[in-house]
Structure 1
Amino acid sequence: MSYSVTYYCPRCGALVDLQREGYLDDKSVTPYPLEGWTYAEAGESFDETDGVRFVCGEPADDLSWRHPPDTEAAGDVAAASGSESAGTESTGDAADPEPEPVGCGEAFYLSFLRFADGEELDPRGPTEPEHVELAEGRGPESPSGPSGPSGSTDTDDSGGGFY
């Protein structure tokens, strides 16, 4: 069964509704692709990929773009859908025949959860700690530096110092 799911552009906040199957679990929406993930273009089938690449405001099948609700441009307008007017909204003013563009035109990425051997994959890479070898027993016993005051002609074995 197909559902309409809303995502936002992490750069400008524009909203996009995507028709997709309910069995897919979202991982994240990011301004960059996750390393190792494969992405389908918006409007293409993404059943065999790890996510969807959107271009903010760009029209595609099964997409509907609109302004974020907290902007003046959002107003009380209907979202454009996968037609020639997708990615734009009319301001509703009869004197303004030009639709107002929606989105910033930058790419962003919807990433789905991925699993390997029953474990969720972390896009940040392996979670094993990095092993560090310490130089215990092989380094100097104390820091190197000057051996002490020099040039003293005092013979009272006071070791020098301040008066």
Structure 2
Amino acid sequence: MTVTVRYTCPHCDAVTSVEREPDLADRSVTALSQPGWEYAAPGDDDLESADGIAFVCGEDGPVTDLEEEPVEGCGRPFFLNFVRYERGVELEPNPPTYGGPRFDFVE
């Protein structure tokens, strides 16, 4: 069984839809990919083995505005990040998707 899930482009607020398994856990939608994460295309059959989905706004199928009226996408990439686990521990995205920008200072 699959469900249709809608995601909003962080660049232009266009909405795109994807058919996927309902048990995949979404973490975030970001403008940048997470370092070291493997992304599937929206139509891939094996989304469960990926760390998320890489979209290109308006090029991966029709997009709408929030009221479901057809619009053109901006053509920029954005990324759906799934919740990931390593040895049973949930991994945080890098950089975190909360609390604003993260800075690492090296002395």
SS of the equivalent of 2:7 reads strand
1:54 counterpart residue number? 55
Q: Percent identity?
A: 39
Match for 2:77 among 107, 121, 128?
A: 107
- 1:5 aligns to 2:43 (yes or no): no
1:144 counterpart residue number? none
Q: Is the 8 A contact 1:36 1:123 kept in 2?
A: no
TM (norm. structure 2) is 0.78
Output the amino acid matched with 2:15.
L
SS of the equivalent of 2:48 reads coil
* 30-39 or 116-125: bigger deviation: 116-125
* Inter-partner Cα distance in structure 1 for 2:18 and 2:42: 9
The superposition leaves residues 56-75 of structure 1 with CA deviations (integer Å, 9 ceiling, x where unpaired) of 01135xxx421233xxx93x
1:23 counterpart residue number? 23
Match for 1:66 among 51, 59, 64?
A: 64
Q: How many residues align?
A: 94
- 1:32 aligns to 2:2 (yes or no): no
Offset of residue 41 of structure 1:
1.6
The superposition leaves residues 5-33 of structure 1 with CA deviations (integer Å, 9 ceiling, x where unpaired) of 11100000000111110110001100000
* 43-52 or 17-26: bigger deviation: 43-52
Offset of residue 47 of structure 1:
2.3
Output the amino acid matched with 2:32.
Y
Q: Is the 8 A contact 1:2 1:22 kept in 2?
A: yes
Match for 2:91 among 102, 121, 126?
A: 121
* Inter-partner Cα distance in structure 2 for 1:121 and 1:114: 6
Q: Is the 8 A contact 2:37 2:51 kept in 1?
A: yes
Higher share of residues assigned strand: 2
Q: Is the 8 A contact 2:24 2:48 kept in 1?
A: no
TM (norm. structure 1) is 0.53
